[in-house]
Amino acid sequence: MSSIPPLSFAAPLLLAAVAALALAWPGRRPAPLPRLSEGAALAALGAAIFGAVQWIAAGPAGVTVLTGPAALSLRLDAVSAAMTVLVAFIGWIVMRYARSYLDGEAREGAFHGLMLVTLAAVLVLVQAASLGLMILSFIAIGAGLRRLLLFYAGRRAAQRAATKFTIVWHAGDAVLILAAGLIWGAFGATDLAALPRIDSMPPAGDAAMALLVLAAVLKTAAFPVHGWLTEVMEAPTPVSALLHAGIINAGGVLLIRNAELVQASPGAMAALVMLGGATALFGAIVMLTQSAVKTALAWSTVAQMGFMLLQCGLGLWTLALLHIIAHSLYKAHAFLASGGAVRAVAQLHRPGPVAVPRIGAVAKSFGLALVLYAGVATLFAMVLGPKLPQALALGAILILGVAYLVAQGLADAAPAALTRRTGLAALGTALAYFTFQQAAGAAWGAHLPAPPVAGPLEWALIVLGLLSFAGVAVAQTLFPLWAHHPAAAGLRVHIANGLYINALLDRLIGGFRAAKSD
């Protein structure tokens, strides 16, 4: 391990210093302060990139401030270097966007200060090497994000969302503190590098992993505590971009950094598969019924976070990390470009008739997509070796989504060009999946545990997941055939409202009352 602290460790300090300056003058600011905020974010990105170069040249490096139960330490390795560069890059893009987006706001200085201090806390989190520092980072992120969600404090919807976020997020903090205490009692350490490698988990360890999974579920806004994530649109768009592209991934970072321990607990892995799969299906179905761009993006985030938890539960840690990076980049762009998307759609002429696939075309499409996927999987297995069933199952789930497009191309009214394009889309998706899987394994495979050998429980979960996703994909493909039925219209309303689960959570935690009294 290198004895020279990476420059990336200084990035949060730089952001915090500029944040303190901005918060000292919270009102409308002249041009130098927004430029300084953007410059600080750019400097943090430069420090993150230089730290990654240091890791490549000299290997991992770390700094320990405290030891014992409340250990505080930082570490830069393959995982944290990638996440640090990602967070710093998104932070710079968001701050650059915010410079013009918030220009002239009455509390412009306060906004820049809160964004920078929250970004600094996220950078500390992704470089944290101890549960103690992770907990402190989570608390700081929650405090900063709550203030940002209440930037327009007079809006009742913002008050309700901030209240629910605070309850769910800090409940995750409390659960994580309990998990850290159990981990200290079971293994005598909370520093991640000092935790032992184990084959079987003691009872206290199983309880700790259950709490760790619960904390990750709360942090990722998984079902059924997803409600606050779909209600944060009252905050400025840069806040939504930072939240959906960076902060919401914190639960995944928590699991990946503790992957060795989590994978040693079959119960924790099974819980991740079931909760993640249910969240992914639920979020994807509700997303299809949303008419507002930003709300649809929020439900998309719910689905993507569920899919990421599913990947962790299957032991596909490198793919989960790749998913976090890809989703962060996509979602930051999607939120920051959402206004342009609305204008582009408004300028389009009414589309022509849609090719509606019949049952026969649907069956052919799913068969063709799966045959193409099996052929590509066989080719990669011949060249690079056989794939584990977890990875094959995840790819099959992805290809089921592409089958929807293939069905459009095989519909009776579809032109030949569309048929060719959809077939190529299925082939390209299969090739891309296995190519990115190999790339992720090469980048992080040596630093994360390999997927476990599938036993009866794992096989049962794999089959359940495949059947569930296949059922939803077929129902989505056949939707045009029964969309005009009166029962379908009522069902659409219920689904668009998330089956009212969020309203039930509001009633349980007093969210409606908080909106009136906050």
Query: pTM of the prediction?
Result: 0.88
- The burial of 313, by beta-carbon neighbours within 10 Å (0-12 exposed, 13-18 middle, 19 or more buried), is given as buried
pLDDT per position in the chain (518 positions), as tens? 556 788 899 999 999 999 988 888 776 655 677 888 899 999 999 999 999 999 999 888 889 887 777 788 999 999 999 999 999 999 999 999 888 887 777 788 888 899 999 999 999 999 999 999 999 999 999 999 999 988 887 788 788 888 888 999 999 999 999 999 999 988 888 888 888 777 778 888 899 999 999 999 999 989 888 888 887 777 788 888 888 777 899 999 999 999 999 999 999 999 999 999 999 999 888 887 887 777 888 888 899 999 999 999 999 999 999 999 998 988 888 878 766 555 544 554 444 445 566 777 777 777 877 887 888 888 888 877 777 888 888 888 888 777 766 776 666 655 666 667 777 777 787 888 888 888 998 899 888 998 888 888 888 888 888 888 888 888 777 776 676 767 777 777 888 777 788 777 777 766 545 444 44
What integer pLDDT is reported at residue 509 of this predicted model?
65
Two tokens at 193?
A: 């590098």
With tokens 């996220």, the residue in question is 122
For the chain, the structural domain boundaries read 1-129, 353-482
Measure the CA–CA gap between 95 and 38, rounded to whole angstroms: 5
Question: What does the DSSP assignment read for 216-262?
Answer: HHHHTT-TTS-GGGGGGGGS-HHHHHHHHHTGGGHHHHHHHHTHHHH
Measure the CA–CA gap between 425 and 323, rounded to whole angstroms: 20
Measure the CA–CA gap between 350 and 163, rounded to whole angstroms: 41
Q: Please provide the distance, in angstroms rounded to a whole number, between the alpha carbons at the two ends of the chain.
A: 50
What integer pLDDT is reported at residue 416 of this predicted model?
67
